[in-house]
């Protein structure tokens, strides 16, 4: 690579053109408006919104966030104002301050709900793609999660694709025996890509009260502690499917981004890092081309899935 050649950080993700691979993960960036006064949102490769459900949700009881040595735990419970408010207020407001791709995260509690949400988003042109969260409880199947059952994962994927022409990324839970089985089921159902991973099921206990620190007994672990496991799972899925992967899990630095791409990710999401430092995404985006230059990397395609 020439001395003065600036590395190309742009990526193509299931037809979406991103100026860089960095985007905030769902639930850590609101609908983007909370960050608009901190830095130019167009710096981001894309914006992934908090989960949208059919009805408004308050979420789980407090407390629902706990610190850990190498990350954090949360049990928010999909708090959001519901799809009517999101489509009428939140998404149009985001489009007013952001010109890049908007990826709407949707969560349902039945196959029909996922399809209904996707159909509603199909009618608006300011949403570029859907991220389908199949890590939420399936209340119609004994409390199991959709993302742990390949049959249901494929069924939801098919239902969403039947009503949506937008790229569909299925967001997978890591709390499974074989994540490639779920990824292959989503691919067979027509998914355009995979987002992975969501949080690990975890628990912390207050030794003084002898009760869990979060009101819900179990919560989701995120942060640097999970990154090596996330990268292993991304690598496994990369070698199993032919659709692009958005890598998620403990990313905080430019080197973390490059590691995830080397594991097989096309783009990445930063989650808990945004809660620790609101400028986290901006800092990583700024550092990425400099680090690529230092390592002799001209573009991200040349290192994707090298292991």
CATH number, domain with residue 260: 3.20.20.70
Q: What is the pLDDT of residue 135?
A: 85
| CA separation for the pair 290, 235 (Å, rounded) | 25
Residue 265 and residue 274: Cα distance in Å, rounded?
Answer: 20
Report yes or no on 87 lying in a domain.
Answer: yes
Longest dimension (CA), the chain: 61
Q: Determine the pLDDT at residue 5.
A: 82
Domain span including residue 290: 11-63+77-201+224-302
Q: Is residue 3 part of a domain?
A: no
Answer whether residue 1 is part of any domain.
no
Q: Which of 68, 136, 186, 281 is catalytic?
A: 136
pLDDT tens series, the chain, 307 aa: 556 689 999 999 999 999 999 999 999 999 999 999 999 999 999 999 999 999 999 999 999 999 999 999 999 999 999 999 999 999 999 999 999 999 999 999 999 999 999 999 999 999 999 999 998 755 566 556 899 999 999 999 999 999 999 999 999 999 999 999 999 999 999 999 999 999 999 999 999 999 999 999 999 999 999 999 999 999 999 999 999 999 999 999 999 999 999 999 999 999 999 999 999 999 999 999 999 999 999 999 999 999 9
Residue 210 in domain: no
For residues 276 and 72, what is the distance between their CA atoms, to the nearest angstrom?
10
State the Cα–Cα distance between residues 177 and 162, nearest whole angstrom. Answer: 29
Backbone torsions φ then ψ of 233, nearest 5 degrees: -65, -40
DSSP letter at 60? S
The tokens for 52 are 């949208």
How far is the C-alpha of 130 from the C-alpha of 192, rounded, in Å?
A: 10
Closest CA to 14 of 158, 191, 132, 185: 191
Report yes or no on 15 lying in a domain. yes
Q: Tell me if 68 is assigned to some domain.
A: no
User: Which residue, chain included where needed, has tokens 């007013």?
Assistant: 96
Total domains present in the chain: 1
Under 8 Å between Cβ of 204 and 238: no
**181 in a domain, yes or no?**
yes
Integer CA distances (angstroms), 233 to 173, 244, 307, in order? 11, 14, 13
Instruction: Report yes or no: 289 and 6 within 8 Å, Cβ to Cβ.
Output: yes
First to last CA, the chain: 22
Predicted confidence at residue 101, as pLDDT, reads 98
Other CB atoms closer than 10 Å to residue 153's CB: what's the count? 28
CA gap 29, 213 in Å, rounded = 24
Q: Are 206 and 217 in contact (CB under 8 A)?
A: no
Dihedrals phi, psi of 250, to nearest 5 degrees: 75, 20
Q: Is there a catalytic annotation at residue 136?
A: yes
Instruction: Quote the tokens at residue 298.
Output: 């001209």
For residue 279, being part of any structural domain is answered with: yes
């Amino acid at each position: 690579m020439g001395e003065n050649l600036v590395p190309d950080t742009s990526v193509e993700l299931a037809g979406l053109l991103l100026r860089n691979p960095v985007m905030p993960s769902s639930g850590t960036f609101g609908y983007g408006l909370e960050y608009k006064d901190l830095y130019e949102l167009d710096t981001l490769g894309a914006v992934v919104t908090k989960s949208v459900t059919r009805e408004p949700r308050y979420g789980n009881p407090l407390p629902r966030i706990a610190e850990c040595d190498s990350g954090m735990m949360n049990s928010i419970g999909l708090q959001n104002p519901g799809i009517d408010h999101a489509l009428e207020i939140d998404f149009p407001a985001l489009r007013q301050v952001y010109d890049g791709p908007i990826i709407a995260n949707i969560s349902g509690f039945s196959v029909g709900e996922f399809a209904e949400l996707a159909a509603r988003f199909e009618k608006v042109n300011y949403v570029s793609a859907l991220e389908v969260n199949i890590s939420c409880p399936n209340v119609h199947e004994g409390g199991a999660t959709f993302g742990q059952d390949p049959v249901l994962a494929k069924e939801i994927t098919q239902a969403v694709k039947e009503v949506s022409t937008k790229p569909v990324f299925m967001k997978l839970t890591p709390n499974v025996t074989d994540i490639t089985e779920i990824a292959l089921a989503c691919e067979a159902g027509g998914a355009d890509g995979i987002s992975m991973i969501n949080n690990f099921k975890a628990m912390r206990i207050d030794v003084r009260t002898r009760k869990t620190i979060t009101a819900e007994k179990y919560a989701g672990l995120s942060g640097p502690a999970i990154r090596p496991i996330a990268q292993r799972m991304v690598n496994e899925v990369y070698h199993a499917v032919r659709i692009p992967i958005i890598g998620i899990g403990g990313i905080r630095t430019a080197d973390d981004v490059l590691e995830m791409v080397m594991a097989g990710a096309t783009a990445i999401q930063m989650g808990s890092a945004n809660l620790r430092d609101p400028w986290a995404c901006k800092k990583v985006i700024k550092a990425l081309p400099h680090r690529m230059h230092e390592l002799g990397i001209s573009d991200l395609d040349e290192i994707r899935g090298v292991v």
